Structure 1
Amino acid sequence: MIALLYLAVFIAGSWLSMSLAPSPLTFNAGVNILIKWLLVAFPGLGGLLAAYAHTVRADKTAAFIGWQPGSPFQFEIGMANLALGVAGLMCLWMSPGFQAGTGVIFSIFALGAGRGHLDQRKELGNQAPGNSGIFVWVNDIAAPAAILVLLAIRGIFGS
């Protein structure tokens, strides 16, 4: 599953960054590392791969999600994902403010997409793997929720 790739990038990047950080690792530094790697993995890598899927492999992606192939909205979703992918990767070196903006935009987009997938499952019985599987729960619900929680913690306790 592609969601497991994003989790692996998040875990490996976070672990490596924490291992190389000056000792002792402070709470705030740990939160910043987690935010950075969530953003690199989910909107960053995830956005680039979703852009590819929704543009180059649009019909196969539509079938995987349980949508009708041939929708012109696939290209628009692909471009939105491309923008998130570029911004997510830029979070490797950009400021906490840039990271917060990227995190909020991604979270609104992903949680909205997740809601749409869950609605399609409930109302239309869409059980396609791309509409009701682990990807929806990890990429569209858990990751954006974790990003928002960590951004709130950083806002409360400082960066």
Structure 2
Amino acid sequence: MIPADLIRATIAFVMSNYSLSFFVFGLVVSIVAIARSGSSIDRALVVEKLLAWYVFFSIGIDNFYNFVMHVFFGKLSAAFIGWADSPFQFEVGTASLGFAAVGLLAAFRSYDLRLAAVLGPSIFTLGAAAGHINQMITAHNFAPGNAGIIFWTDILIPLFGFALLWLSRRTTSSKAMFRPTV
């Protein structure tokens, strides 16, 4: 039997590091989708499945979770970042809701829509990473939501998304890029 403290710690880790959690979950779902594809597995199929589920989980679901946390649990979110609660939490949350809507819409659609879905949140999180660095240097803010896993995922997850977009562009003919995918 698993001890209750371990279960609580695991849940807290997964929820606090949601960007990493949704990224990993998206990779797992991608692997399952690739394995269940029923067709020969080639580079184009692998890239397609990785990109579709990346956009769904790392853009759509991740930003929806961010919306919920900043709008409905603003004090908790601010404290996790090492900041005081602010009305700005609502604005960050609604921006995240917009990113989530585009991500969920784009996940299984055209290359151009996926590009748009990845670009906006990536600029946001890379900018947030720059803000985290500034806070670490100027305010010595090493709170988990400022200097922990969230900081690294703010950089690495967008880079992974851009790499997938680049691979998608290279492996898919330009004609096929404008057709929706399922």
Residue of structure 1 in register with 2:32 after alignment: 16
Report the 3-state secondary structure (helix = DSSP H, G, I; strand = E; otherwise coil) of the residue aligned with 2:64.
helix
Identify unmatched segments of 5+ residues in structure 2. Answer: 1-12, 178-182
Which structure has more relative contact order (CA 8 Å, sep 6+)? It is 1
How many residue pairs match? The answer is 157
Larger radius of gyration: 2
Q: How far apart, in 2, do the equivalents of 1:108 and 1:84 lie?
A: 11
Q: How far apart, in 2, do the equivalents of 1:43 and 1:124 lie?
A: 29
Instruction: Please report how far the alpha carbon of residue 94 of structure 1 lies from its aligned counterpart in structure 2 after TM superposition.
Output: 2.1
Residue of structure 1 in register with 2:157 after alignment: 143
Q: How far apart, in 2, do the equivalents of 1:119 and 1:28 lie?
A: 40
Q: How far apart, in 2, do the equivalents of 1:108 and 1:155 lie?
A: 20
2:137 counterpart of 1:122: yes
Report the 3-state secondary structure (helix = DSSP H, G, I; strand = E; otherwise coil) of the residue aligned with 1:125.
coil
Which of 17, 22, 27 is 1:6 aligned to?
22
2:49 counterpart of 1:33: yes
Residue-by-residue CA offset, 1:25-56 (whole Å, 9 max, x unaligned)? 22122111111111111121110111011111
TM-score by length of 2: 0.80
Instruction: Please report how far the alpha carbon of residue 67 of structure 1 lies from its aligned counterpart in structure 2 after TM superposition.
Output: 1.2
Instruction: Please report how far the alpha carbon of residue 123 of structure 1 lies from its aligned counterpart in structure 2 after TM superposition.
Output: 2.1
Please tell me whether the aligned partners of residues 38 and 143 of structure 1 are also in contact (alpha carbons under 8 angstroms).
no
Q: CA RMSD in A?
A: 1.5
Q: How far apart, in 1, do the equivalents of 2:155 and 2:74 lie?
A: 23
Q: How far apart, in 2, do the equivalents of 1:32 and 1:116 lie?
A: 32
* Identity between Structure 1 and Structure 2 (%): 31
2:126 counterpart of 1:111: yes
